[in-house]
Structure 1
């Protein structure tokens, strides 16, 4: 017993040394790499935001960029984008896309003005914008979950073709401006404590959706679906219903933003969408590189919106042409998506 067991005990180390190599130990990271891994992934976007503010402050005369008047301008100019991007975030959380947001907002803008003119009631315009845009969101959700149409293709078709067709029916000349009620511009142009109502509304939407995603069961289920839909289904989560809810939230946000856009400018215009689609996705993907890497969340989306607002405002103040701004935004989107993917894999 003793003579046969002893060689076996001695053989194990010999086998390792003679042919089977031990698993390689992970390479040691430098102090700089450890710092980047620990802080860069969470606070890199905030660092960029601070650097942008410092750069534009230095480049503008008398620190105009950080003046209270200019900061108020940035908030006002990004309020509509903040509402739309906040509504888009739950859709991205569940792992889907909504490319109809710009078309939905434009339709809501035209309808709110058209109905307000026809009825003489601003309230009717608001309710119509919310109802129609919300129904578009419901239709998107049903199309994706019931008809199994890929969200990228389905919502792109809705936004670029179907909604554009309805826009032309509502306003063949592309604008609705004559005969609006006297109080139609109150919500977009009015202010309290020196801050426009539209900014306060945007803050309220951001807070509401942050709480929904952060502390409610619905929010946790949305994250579960986005993380692993198969596991979520096995856990009893109703993926179809929750997906429809996410698209409906996006639609309602577009409806609200559409009315506020018409109220802000005092007319309904088919040009209201502008670069909204690119800007909303850029803000959300910048947010996915902030605090919680690779995860969409409302706080990150808000930071993304502020980053775009500061970038656009700063480039304008420092003499960049209007043609350069969309180029820079496109580059920012590419960098944000690449950073979110790279940092997500490393974490």
Structure 2
């Protein structure tokens, strides 16, 4: 049974693919395959950051809003720069400069959540819920409620371009996966992350700086949410004020389905990637089958519930 449990996500993906392929002849096509990979790239990037947070027994509900504010800042600086009329000053931004600014905004947002959690001992759920509201409000203020569009072909390359026959977002998500796998499996920091989630008191007694590690993982989660925001903005050629709504739910779903325990200390990056693929295939299948978007939400909610129940059962067996 334990051997079967290790491959339960892979088995679920196989069954899902077989079922959808029987119901829709459009599913097993090359174009649809690339479409699924391009769509899940954003969720993979966000979910990797969420995995690091959950491994420390935390949660981050703000990634969708951080995605929105980071994408908006990147688009705004790229198109409009910064104008200070009182000083007769205008600061323009190159493509690289605007992207770096967006990444910094995401990192600082995550840092703020991590600092609040560690400094004031606020539960991660509450701190990141507050950050969700703050970031969404700042997005509305920055954009004044209107999309920022016409960002240029060079910027569009990140979301819609191809490199060596593979979509650029897939390359970016692959790079994020590689770095995260190496960090969690081959570095001391990775061992610290697992140790904190496994037993925080024991980790503290062994000399691990709990606060620094937690601030780091929330900052990384924020930065990766910003990467997701840049990809979404690039793909749409527009920074939408309401971008990223409910993205945190898909990320949490991918993490849980991939076998990472919500109580921390157990899980892998590759498991999360598999979970994101399952969510992506499920979304794609429901769209191909012309299922109502409202029913799609119901189905995803049930999938998350079942995954959490399985996680709890596995925890009891351990």
**For 2:130, what is the secondary structure of its paired residue?**
helix
Q: Find out whether 1:156 has 2:129 as its counterpart.
A: yes
Q: Give a deviation string over 1:214-271, Cα, whole Å, max 9, x none.
A: 1110000010000000000000011010111111110110111111111111010022
Query: Alignment partner for residue 98 of structure 2, among 109, 125, 146?
Result: 125
- In the alignment, the residues of structure 1 paired with residue 210 and residue 265 of structure 2 have an alpha-carbon distance, to the nearest angstrom, of 21
Question: Which residue matches 1:165?
Answer: 137
Question: Which residue matches 1:325?
Answer: 296
Query: Alignment partner for residue 137 of structure 1, among 110, 122, 127?
Result: 110
1:63-212 equivalent positions in 2, closer than 5 A: 64-118=26-80, 119=92, 121-160=94-133, 162-178=134-150, 180-212=151-183
- In the alignment, the residues of structure 1 paired with residue 170 and residue 265 of structure 2 have an alpha-carbon distance, to the nearest angstrom, of 28
- In the alignment, the residues of structure 2 paired with residue 183 and residue 294 of structure 1 have an alpha-carbon distance, to the nearest angstrom, of 41
- In the alignment, the residues of structure 2 paired with residue 147 and residue 217 of structure 1 have an alpha-carbon distance, to the nearest angstrom, of 26
Question: Which residue matches 1:60?
Answer: 24
Question: Which residue matches 2:225?
Answer: 254
Instruction: Point out where structure 1 has 5 or more consecutive residues left out of the alignment.
Output: 1-36
- In the alignment, the residues of structure 2 paired with residue 213 and residue 134 of structure 1 have an alpha-carbon distance, to the nearest angstrom, of 19
Q: Is contact 2:53–2:221 with CA below 8 Å preserved after alignment?
A: yes
Q: Find out whether 1:278 has 2:249 as its counterpart.
A: yes
**For 2:60, what is the secondary structure of its paired residue?**
coil
Instruction: Report the alpha carbon displacement of residue 294 of structure 1 after superposing the two structures with TM.
Output: 7.8
Q: Is contact 2:43–2:247 with CA below 8 Å preserved after alignment?
A: yes
- In the alignment, the residues of structure 1 paired with residue 274 and residue 265 of structure 2 have an alpha-carbon distance, to the nearest angstrom, of 15
Question: Which residue matches 1:47?
Answer: 11
Point out the structure with max Rg over C-alpha. 1
TM-score (norm 2): 0.92
Q: Is contact 1:125–1:259 with CA below 8 Å preserved after alignment?
A: no
Q: Is contact 2:55–2:260 with CA below 8 Å preserved after alignment?
A: no
Instruction: Report the alpha carbon displacement of residue 332 of structure 1 after superposing the two structures with TM.
Output: 0.6
- In the alignment, the residues of structure 1 paired with residue 254 and residue 316 of structure 2 have an alpha-carbon distance, to the nearest angstrom, of 21
Instruction: Report the alpha carbon displacement of residue 321 of structure 1 after superposing the two structures with TM.
Output: 1.8
**For 1:65, what is the secondary structure of its paired residue?**
coil
- In the alignment, the residues of structure 2 paired with residue 319 and residue 267 of structure 1 have an alpha-carbon distance, to the nearest angstrom, of 26
TM-score (norm 1): 0.85
Q: Is contact 1:104–1:133 with CA below 8 Å preserved after alignment?
A: yes
Q: Is contact 2:196–2:265 with CA below 8 Å preserved after alignment?
A: no
Q: Give a deviation string over 1:56-115, Cα, whole Å, max 9, x none.
A: 111113xx3122211111101111111000111111111111111111000011111000
**For 2:292, what is the secondary structure of its paired residue?**
coil
CA change 1:337–1:174 in 2 (3 A) is farther
CA change 1:341–1:294 in 2 (3 A) is farther
Instruction: Report the alpha carbon displacement of residue 312 of structure 1 after superposing the two structures with TM.
Output: 0.8
- In the alignment, the residues of structure 2 paired with residue 80 and residue 256 of structure 1 have an alpha-carbon distance, to the nearest angstrom, of 8
1:295-334 equivalent positions in 2, closer than 5 A: 295-334=266-305
Equivalent pairs counted in the alignment come to 305
Larger RCO (CA within 8 A; separation ≥ 6): 2
